[in-house]
Chain A
Amino acid sequence: EAQVTQNPRYLITVTGKKLTVTCSQNMNHEYMSWYRQDPGLGLRQIYYSMNVEVTDKGDVPEGYKVSRKEKRNFPLILESPSPNQTSLYFCASSLWGSNTEAFFGQGTRLTVV
């Protein structure tokens, strides 16, 4: 089944404790991206990747890192999480570029206390 898989689905952590949210897709898509969704603000793009080893900042990259060592994986790293990073996070992949349909993972609800 074609899908985007994120893990974990739920995470509660403490300020400053490094964490990684994994994202994997099995559709051989070139383009992958991370979003956060907050009430009243909608989905905002954090980082995106056009292909392996090619990443770029989105609208809200501060406090996040990503890597794209393999085509299928695009982990999101929070080196030192803070409470303002409490949010619902979605990973998405597209066949090529942002102009094609995005397939989303099920989301990761992160709480930083």
Chain B
Amino acid sequence: RKEVEQDPGPFNVPEGATVAFNCTYSNSASQSFFWYRQDCRKEPKLLMSVYSSGNEDGRFTAQLNRASQYISLLIRDSKLSDSATYLCVVSGNSGGYQKVTFGTGTKLQVIP
């Protein structure tokens, strides 16, 4: 089983749609969780951190479920500019060192 798993997509959605991505992780000792956005051939950039209580930033909502070991990202009212690959990132101490694990990403294409 991969340490961090994401559906690779692509998710093709019309403008204005709501889309949700899930990500599962295997290490129950993981401490921090993030969603990054990566545009084609560009560097990843932080979209939002994910907290146990859930957090919202405009059209984006992230949730963490520690019991089931998954995190989610909800995008409401999709814009063309949301087209990108969304990376789930999990970090924490593992085997005595700081470990950062990226999912392989979920590709989103918003269609006019």
Contact = CB atoms under 8 A, between A and B. Distances in A.
Interface residues of B, number: 23
Contact of B49 (A40, A44, A50, A101): A101
Interface string A93-106: 00001111110111
Nearest to A57: B97
Contact of A33 (B34, B100, B105): B100
Contacts of B32: 98-100
B91 A43 contact: no
A104 B44 contact: yes
A106 B31 contact: no
A107 interface: yes
Nearest to A105: B43
B100 A98 contact: yes
B1 interface: no
B17 interface: no
A41 B104 contact: yes
A50 B100 CA distance: 13
A56 interface: yes
Given A42-B87, A99-B32, A99-B91, A104 B102 contact: no
Interface string B23-39: 00000000110101000
Interface of A: 31, 33, 35, 40-45, 48, 50, 56-59, 90, 97-102, 104-107
Given A56-B97, A99-B31, 18 more contacts: A33-B100, A42-B105, A43-B44, A45-B101, A48-B98, A48-B100, A50-B98, A56-B98, A57-B97, A98-B32, A98-B92, A98-B100, A99-B91, A102-B36, A102-B100, A104-B43, A104-B44, A106-B42
